[in-house]
Structure 1
Amino acid sequence: MPSSVIGAPPRVLTALAVALLTLLLPGQVRAECGKCKDIAEKFAREEGFNGTVLVTRNGREIYSGAFGTADAEAGTPMTPRTRFEAGSISKWVAAIVTMRLVEQGRLALDAPITTYLPDYRADTGHRLTLRWLMSHSSGVPNQWDAAAKADPTLKQQSLDNATAVRTYASGDLAFEPGTDWDYSHSNWLIVKAIVERVSGQPYAALVRTVLSFPLGLRDSGIFVGDSVHVTGMAAGYAALQPVVTPRQNPVPDFMMLAGGYYTSVGDLQRLMDGVFNHRVLSPASVATLMDVVRPAQNYALGGRVKTLPVAGKPRAVAWEYGSNGAFRVLAWRVLEDGHSVILANNTSFDHMRIGDLATALLDASYGEPASP
């Protein structure tokens, strides 16, 4: 036993032993793609990957694996239905919901936001649009991140939309909308205020109506504050070895569009299938959702579309990645044929190495030799 855990409470010692054991053994596995299974198990064994993996081909699951522990203190192992904070994939989800309102004629991507928020400051509001906000091309400064960094206790506050927008999303524009790019979370405070005012519903209810109920998403939804209260949620850790170190990053209610979505790998796959098979949006709306607004950043609306080398050829990929605190979630889908890889982790794993694993698995889904 490492000296750093000597003297720890017995419950933690037992949990750590469970974590160490489960890291060595694959969890619940379904493997039509033997190469995918080999890659994932080798990566989990050698790199200490703690999380879940899903690979699909032609709309069919060909590999599913769960590794390690979802809750070290309780000794709960990972399963394919373990839930994770989705981080910035929440923005893509928010863009889908917003596009549904656009499709219904209740919103317009290129209308001034003062059309919907008449109290927003007029000198900038008439130049801002949903398209600029959702592509991070608005010039709205990232006041929220600056404030939360200066005072982390702000992450525990609750604010109504008008107060949140006025406090954290009404600064002088950093550049003329549409001329540059800045990954500003403050954009999504404004989007939340718009979609809730126009729809007359709380955002969490919109997500249920537009996505969860129609697509049968059982392990997804919106959380506020710390995600530990969500049933079936993985706990977040800065590390599991040599000592269990919890890590949380609360999401206040007004930031839920930017980072307040949780999901499992299976539900995220069902969501992607629902979007790209036009069960949620029309083909024209999906095309708009995935149309790259900022080529230098590969950024569309709420997410990215990248051309990646996959199985020996360049392919356009819907590229979604999210992190919050200890959580890392990656979802890649080849647009031409739907081959997909979804990974989720709860131990602050190196995001570049997660990308290496995703590349190897996506290659393997085509039958190509690969190793992360």
Structure 2
Amino acid sequence: MKRYAFACFMWLTIQTALAQKTGAAPEVALNAVMARHFPASQPGGALLVVRDGKTVYNRGVGLANRETQMPITPETNFRMASVSKQFTALCILLLEKQKKLSFDDTLLRFFPDFNPHVGQKIKLRHLLTHTSGLLDYESLLASDRKDQIFDAEVLELLKPQDSTYFEPGSRFRYSNSAFCLLTQVVERVAKQPYLDFITEHIFKPLGMNQTTLYEPGRTIPNRAMGYARNPDNTIRFSDQSVTSGTKGDGCVYTSLTDYKKWNDALTTNQLVNLPQQLERVQVPLNGPANGFYGLGWFFTQTKTGTQALFHSGSTCGFSNCVVWIPAQKTLVVLFSNLADNHRPFADILNALKPAIELSGDIWALHNLTN
């Protein structure tokens, strides 16, 4: 099974924003963390740190491909896993901006043959906030399945289901199924393949020239291959799985270089005003006050009004984490081509404390579950 951060995570809290402090960037400390976690001869990671709008760290360590010995650089393309969801959500935002759909449209508008009992209750906003209650498509797959599943088949699996985990809109439950359906909404509304739409409306306008989506046989430039640890701590090849072919919930491939272009566009509202949209499409999370989810992001709103946004992603061969504080122009991004490898991000946040005060326990956000 594909494993994503927050697959069953019922609450999120980033207690406060990151407060900038004076002083030099802790490059030495970050180098030490990267060297400790990512040996040069093994799968590794790529780290980007931006403070006050300035890049203070941008480096890759380790191998993108053990077979070819290709090193990881800021240009290396990693599979984003659940970090992909923010791109999927933006496609829906762009179509809403074009007045081609509404967040309150139900599934029956796009899929008339969806089970009416379910389809008439679930709205797009439920998909975008993990409040749909849709059954997990992974649970509907045969245990001995070998072929990859793709978004269109996820739709076909879900169409006849006559029940949900709960009344749509009544609670939060992380849902890969929801984001697979969103790609199918894009294709129905835009009348073009999802890859073509996201390339034409996001990747090309932002100059993300190497960013793309996984498809079997599709060339991905500067591609990092995925790996995992065996119980004896040896490394095995683990690039794909039965559930790693779906686009909406996790198969964007991008690099630090291109992800910064994406973040710069979000910061300057180049495509949409994300903070404004999050006011329209969000859901409060159980647990400590202040935690919300919307549009592919977990986020908090501090007492001073500052937003802190977070997401992570995990799949059979990759682990990723992103923290973004828009008001302070702060971004911390770590991509790794090793599964279940989020511990380095916690150490990176600790290493940043001399330069960026973590007045709340951001690492407590990350509760990786299946």
Smaller-chain TM-score bracket: 0.7 to 0.9
Q: Deviations along 1:272-327, whole A, 9 cap, x unmatched?
A: 221231101146754447x531322632122211469xxxx996311021111120
Residue from 101, 104, 111 that aligns with 2:105: 111
* 1:96 CA drift (Å): 0.9
Point out the more displaced range, 241-250 or 83-92: 241-250
Q: Is the 8 A contact 1:169 1:189 kept in 2?
A: no
Q: Partner of 1:357 in structure 2? A: 347
Match in the other structure for 2:71: 77
Q: Taking structure 1 as reference, are residues 209 and 121 closer, same or farther at Cα in structure 2, changes over 3 Å only?
A: same
The change in CA–CA distance for 1:361 and 1:134 in structure 2 (over 3 A counts) is: farther
* 1:319-358 equivalent positions in 2, closer than 5 A: 319-351=310-342, 353-358=343-348
The Cα shift of 1:174 comes to: 1.4
Q: Counterparts in 2 of 1:151-190, with a 5 A limit?
A: 151-155=144-148, 157=149, 161=152, 163-168=153-158, 170-171=160-161, 172-190=163-181
Going from structure 1 to structure 2, the CA distance change for 1:48 and 1:307 (only over 3 Å counts) comes to: farther
- Call closer, same or farther: CA 1:90–1:112 in 2, change over 3 Å: same
Structure 2 counterparts to residues 110-259 of structure 1, below 5 A: 110-142=104-136, 144-148=137-141, 150-155=143-148, 157=149, 161=152, 163-168=153-158, 170-171=160-161, 172-225=163-216, 229-239=219-229, 243-250=234-241, 255-259=246-250
> What residue in structure 1 maps to residue 257 of structure 2?
266
Post-superposition shift, 1:99?
Answer: 0.6
Residue type at the aligned position of 2:310: W
Match of residue 43, structure 1, among 25, 29, 33: 33
Paired amino acid for 1:134: L
1:272 is paired with a residue whose SS is helix
User: Over aligned residue pairs, what C-alpha RMSD do you find?
Assistant: 3.0
Structure number with the higher helix fraction is 1
Q: How far did residue 170 of structure 1 move?
A: 4.4
Q: TM-score under structure 2 normalisation?
A: 0.79
Deviations 1:322-361 (A, max 9, x none): 111120111111132220111111122532x233134235
CA distance in structure 2 between the aligned counterparts of 1:148 and 1:287, rounded to whole angstroms: 33
| Unaligned segments of structure 1, at least 5 residues | 1-32
Tell whether the 8 Å contact from 1:226 to 1:250 is kept in structure 2 after alignment: no
Question: Structure 1 residues 166, 254: closer, same or farther in 2, change over 3 A?
Answer: farther
Relative to structure 1, the CA distance from residue 189 to residue 158 in structure 2 (aligned partners, 3 Å threshold; closer, same or farther) is closer
1:242 Cα deviation from its structure 2 partner: 6.4
1:307-322 matched pairs, under 5 angstroms: 316-322=307-313
Cα deviations across residues 203-223 of structure 1 (Å, max 9, x unaligned)? 111111221111101231111
The alpha-carbon distance between structure 1 residues 193 and 225, as it changes in their structure 2 partners (threshold 3 A), is: same
Residue 242 to residue 118, structure 1, CA distance change in 2 (3 Å): closer
Quote the Cα distance in structure 2 between the aligned partners of 1:110 and 1:173: 18
Q: Distance in 2 between matches of 1:84 and 1:71?
A: 11
Which amino acid is 1:235 matched to? Answer: M
Aligned pairs for 1:271-286 (under 5 A) are 271-282=262-273, 285-286=276-277
Range with bigger deviation, 280-289 or 76-85: 280-289
Q: Give the drift of 1:36.
A: 3.2
Relative to the length of structure 1, the TM-score reads 0.79
- Please give the secondary structure, in 2, of the residue aligned with 1:214: coil
1:237–1:247 Cα contact (<8 Å) kept: yes
Question: Could you tell me how far apart the structure 1 residues matched to 2:132 and 2:233 are?
Answer: 44
Other structure's SS at 1:54 match: strand
The residue aligned with 1:7 is none
**Secondary structure at the counterpart of residue 31 of structure 2:** helix
- Which stretch has the larger CA shift, 57-66 or 45-54? 45-54
Unaligned runs of 5+ in 2: 1-22, 364-370
Deviation at 1:82, TM superposition (A): 0.6
Contact 1:80 1:265 in 2 (8 A): yes
Residues 300, 242 of structure 1: alpha-carbon distance in 2 compared, 3 angstrom cutoff = closer
The aligned residue for residue 13 of structure 1 is none
Q: Whole-Å Cα distance in 1 between the matches of residues 159 and 177 of structure 2?
A: 5
